[in-house]
Structure 1
Amino acid sequence: MNFDRKDYPNDVLLHLYQGLLKPRLIEEKMLILLRQGKVSKWFSGIGQEAISVGSTLALNPDEYILPLHRNLGVFTGRNIPLDRLFAQWQGKTTGFTKGRDRSFHFGTNEHHIVGMISHLGPQLAVADGIALADVLDKKPAITVTYSGDGGASEGDFHEALNVAAVWQLPVIFIIENNGYGLSTPSNEQFRFKCFIDKGPAYGMEAVQVDGNNVLEVYDTVKRLAEDMRQNPRPVLLEALTFRMRGHEEASGTKYVPQELFEEWAQKDPVENYEKWLLQEGILDEEARMRFRETIKREIEEGLKVADAVPMPTASLEEEVADMYRPFEPDASLQLAMGNGQPATDKRYVDAISDALRQSMEKYPELVLMGQDIADYGGVFKVTEGFVAQFGKGRVRNTPLCESAIVGAALGLSIKGKKAMMEMQFADFVTCGFNQIVNNLAKSHYRWGQNADVVVRMPTGAGSAAGPFHSQSNEAWFTHTPGLKVVFPSNPHDAKGLLNAAIEDPNPVIFFEHKMLYRSISAPVPDAYYTTPIGKAALAREGSDMSIITYGMGVHWATQLAEELSLDCDILDLRTLLPWDEEAVRATVKKTGRVILFHEDTLTGGIGGELAAWIAEHCFEHLDGPVQRVASLDTAIPFAPPLEKQFLPVQRLRERVEKLMAY
């Protein structure tokens, strides 16, 4: 192995040596503790330390790194106290996730590290968002993120690289090419020979290094970083290496030919660098032993502190509270309908546009992202004219890559910005589903990082658009703790709730029924205001029956009530997570007859949850069985007669008449 010291002084070379040695000695200790049952799982990076150590030490301390589970050298290179690392691995409260997640599944803004989730690929797009924040702030900084060769087969890899290339984001994508994805060799993962072949196809520079040569990694990343800070762009950096142990210790290594271990053992990054330092007289035997003993003492002291910490005591209140970042909205900004404030008649779509515009003015850190939302103004023209007022930096057209943009929104949040991401149609959210339910929703619970993100979702049927542009999929998200789910039914609430969603530092999935955009209008206050999330409202008041609904269901129910002269409550939930238990309880207690009504399909819809809650908490107030009315349990058909049958409007009439006669 050839080590070219160039002009690096001895103290830098020795610093790299200590950086290599610490994760190796920690790993050797962890493997002992694993056999003793004191650590539950371990992903070894032995043989690959030079990549994480060399790249980390080449960066400025305030530049973000997004590592994987074989990058212990990132965490030690950022000088994270070992007692906290060990407590993290043991599931102790003094770890970074309070015992809620394991190994390197955590982040720490103090050390500018954002750890992985088990799905591997999504963190690459988060790196895009962090780098975008630096670009918008004109900060000369880079972001580094890692992928294994196996994880690079995921669609998130392609999306993240493509976005970074299109937006010229200063991200170094380090591919640790160790030949295996768990037990699957490279020739069963991909057909190309080298990852650097991918770079030109994305329009980005690609560089290959010996991933076992810490000095080569350090020098390459340092050189690239210095240039990228002044000339922002992404770079793909392939680091050739080998995994000397199993994917994780329980998996073993029987699937790997023995000759590969023999070959790569000769390229051990620690032993080779140490040998070179000794030969060059940069390191002597006394210093070698002193470094080792110092690190071993630090390890034992860290373990002693971590071992003394008891396992967490389960607290119901704390577990529930930590799903969301605490937030108390400004009550002075909350306006009810008809409050006498200057107002203008606005359509639903105009109210949403008004909210976005005023929020952009109120929050200079707010960034809007979505397909065709810039010059074109979005397919529903919600952001028409925004580029002229706010510029393309903050109103950003995106490639067709929902997962990457949701991930980038989280990255912006990590850097203290707000993000609104528009799904062109709610149906397309499936392509970004993992980022929403596993990254946005769990981030605060896992390591205290809120996701200040709003995902706008044009939804619903009625336009004969078929199975892929008409779905009502809100129930997917009402089942996901950590999210807030909002669905306004009128222009006043559309503006107020969207402002509230952007103001809220937690992730909000904001549904907008497409058929309401231009079909209804109402007085909407001209000034900025908010409508409280989590509070229902009565759209109609009566005493004979309660129809609990939201979105388009409010209008269908109101129309039927007027046709039949029903003396009924129509409760507009407005927020589906968290939904307003007290408002539901009050209307059930008042009328004793309840219909739960929504456009979403029947099975698994939120109506089932509400029905169960009413049966459990309000049974003594009921004068008849709780009824559910919803769309058919089928996909949404295209032809208008089929769509009409699918939707629940006619079935509502039948159920109302049945319940009134009960």
Structure 2
Amino acid sequence: MPTITKSNIAYDKRSLNNQTLLKLYYNMLKPRLIEEKMLILLRQGKISKWFSGIGQEAISVGVTMALKPSEFILPMHRNLGVFTSREIPLHRLFCQWQGKASGFTKGRDRSFHFGTQEFNIVGMISHLGPQLGVADGIALGNLLKKNGNLTAVFTGEGGTSEGDFHEALNVASVWSLPVIFCIENNGYGLSTPTNEQYNCKHLADRGKGYGIESFILDGNNVIETYTKVQKLAESIRKRPRPILIEFKTFRRRGHEEASGTKYVPKELMDEWEAKDPIENYRSFLFSKKILTQQMDEAYIEDIKSEIDAALESAYAEPNIIPSQTTELNDVYKSFDYKEYTPSKETTELRFIDAISESLKQSMRKHKDLVIMGQDIAEYGGVFKITEGFVEEFGKDRVRNTPICESAIVETAMGLSISGIKSVVEMQFADFVTSGFNPVVNYLAKSYYRWEQEADVVVRMPCGAGVAAGPFHSQTNEAWFTKTPGLKVVYPAFPYDAKGLLATAINDPNPVLFFEHKALYRSIRQDVPSDYFTIPFGKAAFLKEGEAVTIITYGAGVHWALETLDKNADISADLIDLRTLQPLDKEAIIKSVKKTGRAIILQEDSLFGGIASDLSALLMEECFEHLDAPVKRVASMETPIPFIGQLEDQYLAKGKFEDALLELLNY
């Protein structure tokens, strides 16, 4: 690289020793040389894509060197310097980019979409925003463990337009979380300039709205970045709180190389090229006689040799051989189910009491388990399930949250990265739409992508029959059974609710736990008083017969029981699925092969629901044993109405008896 005779950036080395000053230079030089090599390989067709951080190295390196190795960093595409400053072996990085087994995702994700507990780095997902809330969760884990660590998370100026940014800052502020939010303001979100991205003078000004200290730093000045972040980090460790930093810099390459930079005015590009963080810092070190030409050449030769050797070893590694067994086995973290047998002593409990008791006993069993949700602390939740929990477990573990479902699901993910289990209460299952992205894209995919479990239970009060209307009555389980990586549980009785919830909390995988509101106070049952578990994937046979198999779950179980009580002459297998993912396919198929008829009852509207998949399964597996077409019964294809007579018309409950008799008479 050519020498700039005079630096265009004003450096103040302060009390930094020469060793640190040179380390800052070396750590910036390394990602630059890697990037230059990657651009050559891209032109040669040896890699498929590259997101360049050329010109932004000072931020990644300065922040990473200012933090302790034990402190998590959540970087983005243009933060190669985070990975190299944490001294991840280049062989593993190159294997990651080439989809080799020695990478971090077994070829399942690309570039920087990975994390590593070994190096305390959590990479991004393409949706950008969720990592901010995940950083909150890791920071909360630091607080609860009292380990004195902080967390740093990166986003771009474009990412600050996402709702996750605002939710994460608000949660961090309300809970005084030790997290540094780093905004790399590099001029463009793909091709959209900053004046079309936000309408305030500085993004750092947004910190004021959340009661957060904020700072603006020259993102091309590595000394300013390193020393300021180091000072702020020391302060945060002593007095935990969030801080927002806006780094002013520029993206000198395309969003990714294929997009180019034609939309950038030449004079603007020239201005920022003159502020190159490496060449200017190099000139400063030369001028202070800290770096010599010989040292510089030795650094470059050393790094290039490391790059070439790592590339050669990565190329030499064999390509991944696809294995369906391997892929399927890696969707979920293995879970060694431990059975806790029920005691003989029982108490009559309502469905809602069984949920509360299971939560309480799990809180006692798992000493760091955290429950989060709106109004769940002193108020006890809108259904009073957590009433009295604060008095026993304290507000650190029973946490009222702001109204921000997305950030709280992300926070739960961050807690899991910290090794802490959590239960998130959606006030109503309908409200999960506000946290849908992190559920289906972060919780569901993390283990498959980089073997990071999402040890999170999301409680989902759901269902109609209580005159709550379109926004408080949905039973939306089919949204999640469609998503590999999630487990879906839907009990119909207090006994099952208590045992299955205990299992859900023990399971290290993400579980959507549906609780039908109409059953909360209407269904009672004798339930073992002590802690016990029920395995997932085991349906319950409530009745056994020869004429027909009835398959249902949730409130549908009670509708089917009422119908059979009215029609005592019907000989039926009544299967309560209890868990929808995993599904007890064996029990279903065995029953239908025996009876020759099947009817599937669901509360959800028909199209795209669980009943459709079950019907297809039975047609494929039991066709030659069927004496009639598989029958599906579901609610109307409308949103859920409020007024009682319309809700009654909507629900599948009123249609089931006629459909069952029709099937038997086929």
Q: 1:463 aligns with which of 454, 459, 466?
A: 466
SS at match of 1:146: strand
Residues 1:481 and 2:484 aligned together: yes
1:287-436 → structure 2 map (5 Å cutoff):
287-331=295-339, 333-335=340-342, 341-436=344-439
In structure 2, give the amino acid aligned to 1:186: T
Give the residue type in structure 2 aligned to 1:26: I
Tell me, in whole angstroms, the C-alpha distance in 1 between the residues paired with 2:336 and 2:148.
35
* Contact 1:537–1:574 (CA under 8 A) maintained in structure 2: yes
Contact 1:491–1:524 at 8 Å: present in 2 too? yes
Q: 1:48 aligns with which of 56, 67, 72?
A: 56
Letter of the 1:417 partner, please give it: I
Picking from 610, 632, 636, the partner of 1:628 is 632
- CA distance, structure 1, for counterparts of residue 145 and residue 52 of structure 2: 37
Partner of 1:38: 46
| CA shift for structure 1 position 543 | 1.6
Query: 2:159: which partner in 1?
Result: 151
What is the one-letter code of the residue matched to 1:535?
K
- Kindly provide the amino acid, as one letter, of the partner of residue 634 in structure 1: T
Q: Deviations over 1:619-647 (max 9, x none)?
A: 12211110000011111111111111110
Report SS of the residue matched to 1:641.
helix
1:603 aligns with 607
Structure 2 counterpart of 1:538: 541
Matched ranges for 1:165-204 at <5 A:
165-204=173-212
Q: Structure 2 residue aligned with 1:452, among 452, 455, 475?
A: 455
Matched, 1:276 2:280: no
- Between the aligned partners of 2:590 and 2:154, the Cα distance in structure 1 is 53
Q: Which residue of 2 aligns with 1:522?
A: 525
Q: Distance in 1 between matches of 2:550 and 2:539?
A: 13
Partner AA of 1:102 in structure 2: R
Q: Which residue of 1 aligns with 2:593?
A: 589
Alpha-carbon distance in structure 2 between the residues aligned to 1:316 and 1:196: 48
Per the alignment, residue 4 of structure 2 pairs with none
Q: Specify the code of the residue in structure 2 equivalent to 1:284.
A: T
Q: Is the 8 A contact 1:205 1:236 kept in 2?
A: yes
8 A Cα contact 1:539 1:554, kept in partner:
no
Shift of 1:310: 1.7
Which of these residues, 121, 125, 131, is aligned with residue 133 of structure 2?
125
Aligned AA (2:12): D
Q: Does the CA contact (< 8 Å) of 1:487 and 1:510 recur in 2?
A: yes
CA distance in 1, matches of 2:27, 2:511: 41
State the shift of 1:203 in Å.
0.4
Structure 1 residue 88 corresponds to structure 2 residue 84: no
CA distance in 1, matches of 2:531, 2:546: 35
Q: Report what 2:23 is aligned to.
A: 15
Give the Cα separation in 1 of the matches to 2:249 and 2:386: 48
Please give the alpha-carbon distance, in whole angstroms, between the structure 2 residues aligned to 1:633 and 1:36: 54
Q: Is 1:74 the counterpart of 2:74 in the alignment?
A: no
Q: Which residue of 1 aligns with 2:558?
A: 555
Are residues 1:493 and 2:501 paired?
A: no
Aligned equivalents of 2:219 and 2:543: distance in 1? Answer: 68
The answer for the alignment partner of 2:3 in structure 1 is: none
| Residue from 229, 252, 267 that aligns with 1:259 | 267
TM-score, structure 1 normalization: 0.99
In structure 1, C-alpha distance between the alignment counterparts of 2:230 and 2:419, rounded to whole Å: 26
The amino acid that maps onto 2:87 is N
- State the distance in 1 between where 2:515 and 2:546 align: 30
Task: Quote the offset at 1:3 in angstroms.
Answer: 0.9
Paired residues of 1:334 and 1:532 also in contact (CA < 8 A): no
Counterpart AA for 2:608? G
Percent identity between matched residues is: 62
Q: 1:640 aligns with which of 633, 638, 644?
A: 644
CA distance in 1, matches of 2:150, 2:436: 28
Query: Aligned residue pairs: how many?
Result: 657
Matched, 1:27 2:49: no
Task: State the distance in 1 between where 2:638 and 2:319 align.
Answer: 48
Shifted more, 484-493 versus 565-574: the winner is 565-574
Deviates more, 1:585-594 or 1:274-283: 585-594
Q: Deviations over 1:18-57 (max 9, x none)?
A: 0100000000000000001111100000011100110001
Secondary structure at the aligned position of 1:45 is classed as coil
Query: How far did 1:139 drift?
Result: 1.2
Per-residue deviation, residues 546-571 of structure 1 (Å, max 9, x unmatched): 11000000000000110111221110
Residue 511 of structure 1 is matched in structure 2 by: 514
How far apart in 1 are the matches of 2:662 and 2:441? 43
What TM-score does the superposition give when structure 2 sets the normalisation length? 0.98
The equivalent residue for 2:256 is 248
Show the counterpart of 2:665.
661
Deviates more, 1:623-632 or 1:584-593: 584-593
Give the CA deviation at 1:182.
Answer: 0.4
Distance 1:636 1:330 in 2: 39
Distance 2:594 2:535 in 1: 23
Q: SS in structure 2 opposite 1:396?
A: strand
Confirm or deny: 8 A CA contact 1:549 1:598 kept in the other structure.
yes
| C-alpha distance in structure 2 between counterparts of 1:115 and 1:472, whole Å | 33
What letter is aligned with 1:661?
N
1:204-219 to 2 correspondence within 5 Å? Answer: 204-219=212-227
Q: CA RMSD in A?
A: 0.7
SS class of match (1:100):
coil
Deviation sequence 1:278-320 (CA, Å, 0-9, x none): 0001111100100110000000011011001122110000000
Report which stretch shifted further, 19-28 or 641-650: 641-650
Structure 2 unaligned segments of length 5 or more: list them.
1-8
Supply the distance in 1 between the matched residues of 2:617 and 2:571 (Cα, whole angstroms). Answer: 24
Partners of 1:260 and 1:287 in 2: CA distance: 33
Q: For 1:643, what is the secondary structure of its paired residue?
A: helix
Rounded to whole Å, the distance in 1 between the matches of 2:273 and 2:204 is 25
Distance in 2 between residues matched to 1:36 and 1:534, nearest whole Å: 50
Which whole-Å CA distance do the structure 2 matches of 1:348 and 1:245 have between them? Answer: 58
Distance 2:540 2:149 in 1: 48
1:654 alignment partner, SS class: helix
Matches within 5 A, 1:52-63: 52-63=60-71
Maintained 8 Å contact 1:482/1:507? yes
Residues in 1 aligned to 2:440 and 2:387: alpha-carbon distance in whole angstroms: 30
| Structure 2: distance between partners of 1:492 and 1:375 | 27
Kept in 2, the 8 Å contact 1:414–1:451? The answer is yes
Which secondary structure does the structure 2 equivalent of 1:37 belong to? coil
| Structure 1 position 334, deviation (Å) | 4.2
Tell me, yes or no, if the aligned pair for 1:541 and 1:570 is still in contact at 8 Å: yes
Return 303-312 or 444-453, whichever deviates more.
Answer: 303-312
What does residue 502 of structure 1 align with?
505
Distance in structure 2 (CA, Å) of the matches to 1:498 and 1:193: 49
Read off the aligned partner of 1:519 and give its amino acid letter: S
